[in-house]
Structure 1
């Protein structure tokens, strides 16, 4: 019995993998100049998997011109009270 398409999770294979396939490992080794044509595809050296960093919320940056205006507005608000 198969699962209905609407019940399957979306993007099931979109998460990062922690192991490369042989073809991917050979491509990375070629880019790093660590691969020769005479080398066997069995017993390939390990290749480090680069993990993607999650993007956090960046703190709101205030430009110096706006910072001066904001500071003056706060001082004016305190003076009126």
Structure 2
């Protein structure tokens, strides 16, 4: 099986991913106090991946949009 091009270099894996490895899921469960050391590492429950949004920009309304939206069109 071929390696995906996003995984070939070490720095490319820094983006947000939907699927976590088993080790990452166990670390996340330990952080949330849901992990018991006697538990089997197989058949783990799903863990939610929370994505952080950095620098979300608000839409700016232009003057043309404000004028068109405030007055109804006349026939």
TM-score (norm 1): 0.51
Aligned length: 51
RMSD: 2.6
1:14-70 CA-partner distances (Å, limit 9, x unpaired):
3211111111110111111111111100000111000122422369xxxxxxxxxxx
Higher CA-based Rg: 1
Q: Which runs of 5+ in 1 are unaligned?
A: 1-10, 60-81
Give structure 2 stretches of 5+ with no counterpart.
1-10, 60-75
TM-score by length of 2: 0.54
Which of structure 1's runs of 4+ aligned residues deviate more than 3 A? Answer: none
SS of alignment partner, residue 13 of structure 2 = coil
